A = this chain, B = another copy of it.
Amino acid sequence: MAALVNRRQLRIEWGQCDPAGIVFYPQYLMIFDACTGQLFARTGHSALAMREKFGIIGMPLVETGARFLLPCRFDDEVTVESEVAEWGRSSFTVRHRILKAGELAVEGFEKRVWASVDPTKPGSIKAQKIAAEIITALSSG
């Protein structure tokens, strides 16, 4: 099954840019985080509903990476394409591509864990098997 791709149009804000006039790179990671949220909302569950329904506390990040190919500037319109590129048992990798006028400007990934509170260790989390329903909802065709 192919992955469902979430597309989001964004306009680069003044406050996201640095004195070189280009997006300050940690801002791209904030965009990734928000776009993963929007991708998972495509399951039909809000972030809060998903937590309640599946007993998770969230999807903490274990690894991230990004390559910067073209600079984006204030007022640029960009498209962010996000999809789950790989499903593990309890972890998954979201791939993001930021396109500017059709050209790839930034590509990156987030590896996240489907996690619940660890009942045996206060303050700790425990990886859970990802709900099949979520995997299905984020696949297309």
A residues at B contact (CB < 8 Å)? 13-15, 17-22, 24-27, 29-30, 33-34, 37, 46-48, 57-58, 60-68, 71, 73-75
- Stoichiometry (number of copies): 4
Contacts of A24 in B (CB 8 A): 14-15, 33
Given contacts A62-B67, A65-B64, A66-B64, contact A74 B33 (CB under 8 A): no
User: What are 9 A-B pairs with beta-carbon distances under 8 A?
Assistant: A13-B37, A18-B19, A19-B19, A25-B29, A25-B33, A26-B33, A48-B75, A60-B71, A63-B66
Question: Are B58 and A63 in contact, with the CB atoms below 8 A?
Answer: no
Most buried by B among A19, A22, A58, A61: A19
Given contacts A13-B37, A33-B13, contact A66 B65 (CB under 8 A): yes
Question: Are A18 and B15 in contact, with the CB atoms below 8 A?
Answer: yes
Contacts of A18 in B (CB 8 A): 14-15, 17-19
Given contacts A13-B34, A34-B15, A65-B65, contact A60 B20 (CB under 8 A): yes
Which residue of chain B has the shortest Cβ distance to A13 in the bound complex?
A: B34
Q: Report the minimum CB–CB distance from A21 to chain B (whole Å).
A: 4
Q: Report the minimum CB–CB distance from A112 to chain B (whole Å).
A: 10
Q: Report the minimum CB–CB distance from A92 to chain B (whole Å).
A: 15
Contacts of A27 in B (CB 8 A): 26
